[in-house]
Amino acid sequence: MGVKQKYIEEEFEIDEYFIEQMQQFKSPASIRIASLVDKMYGIESTNGQIRNKTGHVHMDNNEPVFFAIDYYRDDEGPIVLIDVYNIEVDQYLDSINANINIK
């Protein structure tokens, strides 16, 4: 079962499932999440293991949206974005303590 490649850039590879999941977020949250993904630029290799980063954005009504992004990166390859999904505020706070949030 191969995943069709939807978009490739020098630093990122985004598969179709990631894009489908991004569509589950309401605009402008999805746009703001995409801008935070740019902050992952240059992230070190995960040696092919799936890891995640968390983050949060605010909607126009100041409502927070907490999310996690699953990704992996080989030594010489791009960052492969696999999944993005909602998380609870407690999970986000735990990720700050574990230093796995997007800064």
Instruction: Give tens-digit pLDDT for 32-65.
Output: 999 999 999 889 999 989 999 999 999 878 889 9
Pick the CATH number of 8-97 from 3.40.1010, 3.30.2310, 3.40.5, 2.30.30: 3.30.2310
Query: Per-domain residue ranges for the chain?
Result: 8-97
- Identify the CA nearest to 57 among candidates 29, 92, 35, 19: 29
- What mean pLDDT is predicted for residues 25-38? 90
Average predicted confidence (pLDDT) for the chain: 88
Average pLDDT of 7-19?
79
CA nearest to 88, candidates 72, 64, 69: 64
Residues 95 and 75: their CA atoms lie apart, in Å, by 24
**Backbone dihedral angles phi then psi of residue 34, each to the nearest 5 degrees:** -60, -35
**% of the chain surpassing 70 pLDDT:** 91
Determine the average pLDDT of the residues in 55-78: 91
Q: Which residue has the tokens 């995409």?
A: 34
Q: How confident is the model at residue 11 (pLDDT cuts 50, 70, 90)?
A: confident
- Beta sheet of 79-86, edge-to-edge order: 5-8, 12-15, 79-86, 64-73, 51-58
